[in-house]
Amino acid sequence: MTMTAYYNEIDPFAAQWLRNLIAAGHIAPGVVDERSIEDVTPDDLRGFTQCHFFAGVGVWSLALRRAGWPDDKPVWTGSCPCQPFSAPGKRKGFADERHLWPAFFHLISECKPGVIFGEQVASKDGLGWLDLVQTDLEATNYAVGAVDLCAAGFGAPHIRQRLYWVADSDNAGLEGRKGMPERSAEFPAGSGCVDGRVAHATGGEQPGSRNQRQAGRNEYPNSCSAGCSELTKPTNGHWRDADWLFCRDEKWRPVEPGTFPLADGIAGRVGKLRAYGNAIVEPVAEEFIRAYMLITEE
């Protein structure tokens, strides 16, 4: 097996998960480096076709494959830590030690990869982060495109709003483009997202509280809401069999069938949930890559 990919992941649990996925053939064959990205040098990356930073559990590699991007086609990916720019975090922004874009950009500016895909939280602070990324990359002759996407627009039962961006050193593919192409017929779901709510299996939104249900507010809608594609259902893909649990905070939440509550001492499950929480949503990344491939191959 030719090791074409480089995976950089500092979390030991996720790093071992990557090795297992590589061994099983689920993601591009490669090597896993557990050092901090700040310790990686350009020389360390020589000979690799694909480089995945903040690799997590390899979802970018999986999305590339499913989008039709060959393992031997050069590409870099990197979803920099969102904690400095996420509302639930301390919001230290650029002063946070987890703001690792400068280290990532150093490697980019030295190695000059042709195409880079990335993702960041879609918050006000996240937009400020994206401004910095775009400014840095354009100063080194990359064309940069970005779009705000949410998982619910791709059939997921949750929002997870994220900024997906791509940088192209060729410029021909993105220059002069004002947005992604119109491909509504090919997307697995509609694009509407409603802040603070989750998608319902029938295309509406899941009730937010017991009081709303008692008031008769659209408990189980039978048709799509206005302006919503009939394809907007979590039953379209990975989330087909989600179970809906009514929680103590009087909100409904989807869970994987057979999921059991966390218990003290189950270290493996804690590690899995941490890895899942940090991972990108594969169907969203896959369609973003497909859209990029479509506009650059015209």
Query: Which tens digits make up the pLDDT trace of 207-245?
Result: 443 344 344 333 333 333 334 444 444 445 665 666 666
Domains of the chain: 5-174+277-296 (3.40.50.150)
Give residue 228's pLDDT: 40
**Where would I find the H helices in 25-158?**
59-67, 101-111, 124-139
Residue 49 makes CB contacts below 8 A (sequence gap 6+) with 4, 5, 71, 72, 73, 74
For residue 242, how many other CB atoms are within 10 A of its CB?
20
List b or e across 67-98, with b for residues whose CB sees 16 or more CB atoms inside 10 angstroms.
Answer: bebebeeebbbbbbbbbbbbeebeeeeeeeee
Residue 283 makes CB contacts below 8 A (sequence gap 6+) with 151, 154, 155, 156, 188, 237, 238
Say if residues 189 and 155 touch (Cβ distance below 8 Å).
yes
Say if residues 14 and 275 touch (Cβ distance below 8 Å).
yes
pLDDT of residue 86 exceeding 50 = yes
pLDDT digits (tens, 9 = 90+) for 31-76: 999 999 999 999 999 999 999 999 999 999 999 999 999 999 999 9
Find where tokens 């893909």 sit: 237
* Phi, psi (rounded to 5 degrees) for 250: 65, 35
Say if residues 122 and 79 touch (Cβ distance below 8 Å).
no
pLDDT digits (tens, 9 = 90+) for 127-172: 888 999 999 999 999 999 999 998 777 777 777 788 999 999 976 5
pLDDT band at 125 (very low <50, low <70, confident <90, very high): confident
Say if residues 37 and 8 touch (Cβ distance below 8 Å).
yes
Nearest to 154 by CA among 190, 186, 129: 190
Full strand arrangement of the beta sheet holding 75-78? 30-33, 5-8, 50-53, 75-78, 115-121, 161-168, 143-150
pLDDT of residue 189 exceeding 50 = no
pLDDT of residue 288 exceeding 80 = yes
Find where tokens 């890559």 sit: 289
Percent over 90 (pLDDT), the chain: 44
Give residue 152's pLDDT: 78
Give residue 205's pLDDT: 42
Give residue 27's pLDDT: 96
